[in-house]
């Protein structure tokens, strides 16, 4: 990936962040974020060419030439011609990598998550620990304490409120698949009887693999709508790490360890009511200073999504949209009314009207709108119908668009393209994974297919990561004639 290649070039040539930043006219912190893999740089970002130009102009020692020749790799001798070296470096820095970005990995899991009920591990209740002192040590001790806490919570056979935070590494859980499976089953069982979970996720200032892995681990729970997630920024240089898992008004597990010494783990299982109350106050005081990570919308609270979405759409900025079907914003009025009639819900027309007004306002103000469409194959349509996005959230019957309506809608998209220079459509093959709606610098909403679940992020640092992924996924924006030709080709096959 780019950050590995950039690190190799900079370490080999002893180039500092400040030196490269001065050449690129950017902040040294930007270079640092790229080098750490925390700043995603799109495949077509011109900064790659500028970086290549910087390193093509350097004078290299024989030892440095060997290192770089091996990395690119070169078939012949290291080029002495600086323009030839520039050409090679541009290609090397811009070539596609097999590794996925953190966002792409997250979306793949999000889009493929099977939420159908499966036979979960049968939880044997009534177990208690032989550890009477309430002290545990190391990874095995933490597992024992957590299972004891959740097992006794299940014994209550009543909804509980779980408070959870950890800035310790999660290796103690992730390296033991059997434990992870059991932990997940116990939490799902608690949620199934009405329990709620308040969790604080830690992150660096720019989301990385660890940040998205934290979310991926909890995705099945997030999809239930029972989790209230927050985030805190990790403080660099702090070696002492802590964890809390609290069953409100009942019991708690606390843990402390050194960042680079997981075996130092010291765990306490607390049942004393006064002590549990003290841990709750510590957690709540900390959580009060954290910020919401995201809002999760499901059928249960869909009525709160549409007002929030309407308020969000009052902001004018560049918009990226990715879906299996064109946005309802470009949908002809007659089709919108037909879908509304089929759903027997006025919500669809309100949503259509709002989106149409939004697109019209953006193009008039010169804000770019980019749609990446993974249009459905005919084989994916049942009886010539295809479900529309959010079709199960309108409160009526499932919404769908017919083959003929899709043709008419796409004809309208072509007209929109012809009339608006700030509107672009990129047709892609394959699966879109998940639906995306990104407002630059403001918010990201990620949609699953029915049963629809929406993750709404409002953090700028998450927004930046998704835009980088989206721009790279869309690739180079084709000329308008190419966009129109691709759509017409698809229509001809319907």
Tens digits of residue pLDDT in 35-92:
876 666 765 577 888 999 999 999 999 999 989 988 888 767 888 888 888 888 888 8
pLDDT for res 186: 93
Q: Which residues of 129-159 are buried (b: 16+ CB within 10 A; e: fewer)?
A: beeeebebebbebbbbbbbbbbbbbbeeeee
CA–CA separation, 389 and 409 (whole Å): 15
pLDDT for res 126: 46
Q: Are strands 240-247 and 251-258 parallel, antiparallel or unpaired?
A: antiparallel
Task: Give residue 34's pLDDT band: very low, low, confident or very high (50, 70, 90).
Answer: confident
Q: What pTM, to 2 d.p., does this model score?
A: 0.73
Task: Give residue 101's pLDDT band: very low, low, confident or very high (50, 70, 90).
Answer: low
CA–CA separation, 359 and 245 (whole Å): 45
CA–CA separation, 459 and 405 (whole Å): 37
pLDDT for res 48: 87
Q: At what angle do helices 403-419 and 333-343 cross, to 10 degrees?
A: 140
35 within 8 A of 94, measured Cβ to Cβ = no
453 within 8 A of 296, measured Cβ to Cβ = yes
Residue 443 burial (10 A CB sphere; 0-12, 13-18, 19+): buried
Given a cut of 70, is residue 365 above it in pLDDT? Answer: yes
Given a cut of 80, is residue 444 above it in pLDDT? Answer: yes
| Cis status, amide bond into 73, omega within 30 of 0 | yes
pLDDT for res 110: 84
Lowest mean pLDDT among 1-10, 259-268, 273-282, 451-460: 259-268
Mean of pLDDT values over 255-282 = 87
pLDDT > 90 in the chain, percent: 44
Given a cut of 70, is residue 130 above it in pLDDT? Answer: no
């Amino acid at each position: 990936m780019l950050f590995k290649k950039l690190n190799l070039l900079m370490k080999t040539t002893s180039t500092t962040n400040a030196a490269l930043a001065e050449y690129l006219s950017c902040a040294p912190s930007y270079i640092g974020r790229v080098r750490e893999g925390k700043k995603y740089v799109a495949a077509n970002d011109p900064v790659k060419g500028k970086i290549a130009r910087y390193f093509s102009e350097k004078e290299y020692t024989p030892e440095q030439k060997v290192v770089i020749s091996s990395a690119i790799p070169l078939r012949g001798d290291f080029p002495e011609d600086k323009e030839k070296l520039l050409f090679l470096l541009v290609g090397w820095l811009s070539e596609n990598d097999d590794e996925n970005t953190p966002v792409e990995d997250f979306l793949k899991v999000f889009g493929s998550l099977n939420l159908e009920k499966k036979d979960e591990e049968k939880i044997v209740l009534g177990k208690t620990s032989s550890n009477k002192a309430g002290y545990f040590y190391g990874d095995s001790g933490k597992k024992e304490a957590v299972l004891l806490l959740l097992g006794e919570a299940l014994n209550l056979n009543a909804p509980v409120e779980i408070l959870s935070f950890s800035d310790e590494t999660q290796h103690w859980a992730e390296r033991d698949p059997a434990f992870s499976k059991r932990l997940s089953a116990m939490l799902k069982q608690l949620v199934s009887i009405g329990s709620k979970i308040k969790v604080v996720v830690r992150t660096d200032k720019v989301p990385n693999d660890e940040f998205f892995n934290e979310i991926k681990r909890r995705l099945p729970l997030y999809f239930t709508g029972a989790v209230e997630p927050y985030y805190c920024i990790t403080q660099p240089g702090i070696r002492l790490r802590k964890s809390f898992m609290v069953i409100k008004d009942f019991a708690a597990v606390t843990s402390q360890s050194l960042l680079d010494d997981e075996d130092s783990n010291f765990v306490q299982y607390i049942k004393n009511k006064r002590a549990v109350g003290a841990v709750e106050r510590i957690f709540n005081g900390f959580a009060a200073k954290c910020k919401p990570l995201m809002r999760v919308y499901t059928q249960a609270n869909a009525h709160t999504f549409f007002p929030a979405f309407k308020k969000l759409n009052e902001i004018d900025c560049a918009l990226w949209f990715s879906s299996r079907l064109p946005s309802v914003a470009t949908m002809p009025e007659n089709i919108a009314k037909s879908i509304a009639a089929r759903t027997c819900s006025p919500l669809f027309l309100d949503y259509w009207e709002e989106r149409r007004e939004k697109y019209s306002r953006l193009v008039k103000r010169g804000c770019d709108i980019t749609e990446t469409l993974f249009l459905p194959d005919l084989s994916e349509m049942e009886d010539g119908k295809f479900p529309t996005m959010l079709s199960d959230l309108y409160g009526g019957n499932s919404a769908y668009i017919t083959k003929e309506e899709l043709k008419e809608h796409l004809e309208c998209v072509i007209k929109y393209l012809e009339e608006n220079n700030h509107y672009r459509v990129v047709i892609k093959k394959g699966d879109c994974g998940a639906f995306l709606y990104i407002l630059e610098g403001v918010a990201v909403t990620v949609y699953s297919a029915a049963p629809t679940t929406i993750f709404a992020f409002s953090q700028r640092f998450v927004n930046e990561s998704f835009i980088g992924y989206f721009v790279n996924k869309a690739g180079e924006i084709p000329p308008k004639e190419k966009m129109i030709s691709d759509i017409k080709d698809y229509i001809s096959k319907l």
